[in-house]
Structure 1
Amino acid sequence: MSESSTSLFRRLRGPVMGLAAAGTALVLAAPTAATAATAQARAAAPDPVSVLKYTAKERKEAVAYWTTARMKAVGKSVDLGPTGPKAKPYKGTPLKTVGRLFFVNASGADTWCTATAVKSANRSTVMTAAHCVRRGSSPGNTNMLMVFVPGYSKGKKPHGTFAVRTAATPRTWVNDSTNDMAALVVDTDTKGRKLTNVVGGQAISFTRAVGGTVSALGYSATRPQRGEELLRCVGKSKKDDGAQSIPCDLTGGSSGGPWLADFDATTGKGGVLVSVNATLDSLTPTKMYGEVLSTTAKKVYDRAQNA
């Protein structure tokens, strides 16, 4: 399987690893020494968040690279079969916050994922999947020339193009391919406006219990859309294999797309981001998996929103 198809979301879900062995720490004596040892251990612990930074030159090159023609061409280069039956074109009020995330992957191929502008302190934060930023368990293999185009539809960029300047992922993804989520920080647009000042931002939750109706959205590489239109699955989420899942047959290109709870498709209003499209159950997908956003995800998001 090529890296191009992997980044387009043809990865298969494997067994969930990562059960932590928990124990009870007993302080027997010398509390001062114990405190010092604890501080030393914390200082030695690796940063739980890994951050990629793109230079001003690289960001300028990214915006110049991703012309409208190139964006349309990358979709024509991939055909992952017919759309549906679960995934259907999104017909509600146009969503300004959701868009295509274009980049050149670690193998040098043009490709894309899906991403979402969210509410944040810096008004410039975008949520997506970690595998849209870099290969798991392979620290040196990172994506480049990355731009976010909110509201993308059939070659139209109604809200402009935003270069990605910082990409934060869990270190567990970098080292062990677990916790497949990421938070990006984007530049201002050509008029100097911050992202969520232009398109707004979805609310995000790191404490919401799994369950209830969720809309999963993404720019799937299935035909006839081939990434040019936003598609949507609707289903009830449930805990599944250490993560959560919903019935959905979105595939390549939908990676990183939002799971929105409390979403009104008619008005396009509401919608709390509770996960992102991460993995499929098979080559002929029947369900989509997403991480349960909690402590690790919050640390990644905070690193981005405070950048």
Structure 2
Amino acid sequence: MFGEIGSVKSKADETALQILSLFRDSISEICLNEPESISDYFKPEYSHYIIVHTPLNFRFPERREELNMRFCRDVGVSVVERIVTETDQIYVRGLMAINGSKVYAILPFMKIDAEKAKIATFPEDHMVRVRSKVLPSVLPDIKGETILDIGSGFGSLTIELARNNPDSKVYGIDLHDSLTGQSQMNADVLGVSNVKFKTGSAYSLPFEAGSMDVATCFLMLHHLEDIKFALFEIKRVLKNGGLLIAVEPLAEQHHHGPQLSEAGWQELFEDVGFAIEVESQEGAAIMKAVKRE
């Protein structure tokens, strides 16, 4: 059995890490029991590592059984990317472990691992494909002095918006303190200073009326019980002529929430008073909605 060589420091708890699509963007600090041994585990030639750590103390749904096999048995095993900073701390991205977890082993991800990864077979996650193919085509066109990302998760897309708009004020909002706390930690580690994360609800946004140039919702609205109520609230905080950009899965492309077609999403936005254009990519609807003056 491995001996403990360190621990994990982050803001993420098990509630946050159950949101599978987000954990891979979470940044954690690795605190070694013997800090002087950093060079024994981390080498400048390697960008990625395999970390053996305390398992998660919950079970994913049956359709995610592979995650139970990987993270919820005797130990958890994560493949992570090292984040290089100007400090002496060791930060990694993608560690599937909560704050305070023990670290038992740190191994370099090697060329032979990368070669095997190219030919490996495994079940494909449709929503991961949507995130990887659709969102990168949307983000570069989002511009504004004040930008609000609703349902920001661990903040990776919010932080990218802030990087794309360095002179803007960018805000991310989500329901859980662990998500917004982890998001702020991610931004601080990455040196992105023009973004701030707040805990709050899409039904009661903690911003003044007419304060935002742009609002974004990425794969969030279909999780809500009352989408129309949230759209009215988003409309409230937008300036006249402000833009809401949303990306949501189309009917039969996801497992929960309303099964809406392009026409269904368009009707929903128009009922709230938006002028909207809708297009589809990879089974997702991309909506660009303007608040009418």
Query: TM-score scaled to structure 2, two decimals?
Result: 0.23
Q: TM-score if structure 1 supplies the norm length?
A: 0.23
Larger helix percent:
2
Greater relative CO, 1 or 2 (CA 8 Å, sep 6+): 1
Structure of greater Rg: 2
